[in-house]
Amino acid sequence: MLRLFQLELPFFRRAAPPQDSLRHIQLGSRVVDYRLIRSGRRTLGMTIDQRGLRVGASPRTSLADIERFLRHNAAWVLKKLDEWHGHGGSRHLAVCDGALIPVLGENCVVRIEPGANRVRWVGHTLILQARPDADLRPLARRALRQRAQEVFAERTAHFAALMHRAPPRVALSNAQTRWGSCNEQTGLRLSWRLIHAPLRLVDYVVAHEMAHLVEMNHSPRFWKVVERLYPEYRGAREELKRLAATCPQL
């Protein structure tokens, strides 16, 4: 992950906007998406990783100051975004002690301990208990698949209840270009790599695929079912397209 220095800014008395919002800004000749995260922090800073540009700010920091900060650092921002999006960068994640792996849109820390090639989660920490000669990447994939199975099954049950039907069987796929599929015969299949995405995007994919149990097409009737299950589907669909281009490889 790449972090820029933090800059102290004065506070302003103004109504706090949403805690997490997707915004856009013109930097040079390009329009750049960024996610603005309002929190209790007292500084303004930004992070660029496989998810794109994320800006952290106090609820009382003005939008004008945030955009002034971004424009002042436009050259750095564009350079690092290009590196992450394939112009000199790599989407492959390293697995080592202290590495960061995105899980449900948040970074989880990897800790390596001696052990018999087992995995466990402690909050936002992934612990790999590995033998000295172990390949850590399969261990990490095992842990992520376990977490994906649990989360996907829970979200499937949630949307099945909204549809007043029994949850379909949930299976994981290794697909890199297709997030999921669903029908009455095979149940719901989801790429385990979706575990890297924020939960709101997991929900969109689950709602989308389960809507196919009602309409096996992409007709207007199908999208009405999706909208009933997940009203914010339009924004999620666009965000998912961006994720597909930057999803990390493990």
Q: Where are the domains of the chain?
A: 2-84, 100-136, 141-246
pLDDT score for 208: 96
Distance (Å, whole) CA 126 – CA 139: 10
* Alpha-helical segments (H) within 40-185: 63-72, 74-84, 136-163
Distance (Å, whole) CA 144 – CA 159: 22
**Predicted model pTM:** 0.65
Assigned token pair, 26:
């013109």
Which band of pLDDT confidence, cut at 50, 70 and 90, is reported for residue 121? very high
Q: What angle do CA 102, 121, 190 make, to 5 degrees?
A: 55
Which band of pLDDT confidence, cut at 50, 70 and 90, is reported for residue 91? low
- Spell out the CATH class of 141-246: alpha beta
Which band of pLDDT confidence, cut at 50, 70 and 90, is reported for residue 231? very high
Burial class (CB in 10 A: 0-12, 13-18, 19+), 52: buried
Distance (Å, whole) CA 241 – CA 246: 9
- Asked if residue 187 has pLDDT above 90, the reply is yes
